[in-house]
């Protein structure tokens, strides 16, 4: 009985979905190039290195894009 019930439910589902109307997705609207204000660009950075008077090596990150330091001096050894 369980097998017949499963097969009949499966057949009912197949018939239900095959008869249902298919709706088409709306066509996408074209994007005008005049709407784009600018191009996104990655921030440019540069590492600066120094050796302190006590012999420690340090580095610091500078933002070329925004003209400011992004980190404090980091001791690397």
Residue numbers of the domain that contains 68: 44-77
Distance from the first to the final alpha carbon of the chain: 76
Report the domain count for the chain.
1
Instruction: Tell me if 66 is assigned to some domain.
Output: yes
pTM as predicted: 0.48
Q: Which residues have a Cβ under 8 Å from the Cβ of 56 and sit 6 or more positions away?
A: 75, 77
pLDDT of residue 63: 95
CA distance 43 to 28: 32
| Higher local confidence (pLDDT), 14 or 61 | 61
Instruction: Tell me if 60 is assigned to some domain.
Output: yes
Instruction: Band the pLDDT of 3: cuts 50, 70, 90.
Output: confident
pLDDT of residue 19: 67
pLDDT digits (tens, 9 = 90+) for 17-61: 676 566 666 766 666 555 556 788 899 999 999 999 999 999 999
CA distance 60 to 74: 6
pLDDT of residue 11: 80
């Amino acid at each position: 009985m369980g097998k017949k019930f499963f097969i009949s439910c499966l057949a009912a589902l197949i018939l239900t979905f095959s008869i249902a109307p298919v709706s088409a997705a709306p066509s996408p609207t074209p994007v005008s190039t005049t709407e784009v204000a600018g191009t996104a660009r990655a921030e440019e950075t540069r590492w600066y290195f120094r050796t302190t008077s006590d012999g420690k090596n340090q580095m610091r990150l500078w933002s070329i894009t925004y003209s400011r330091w992004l980190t404090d001096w980091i001791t690397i050894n």
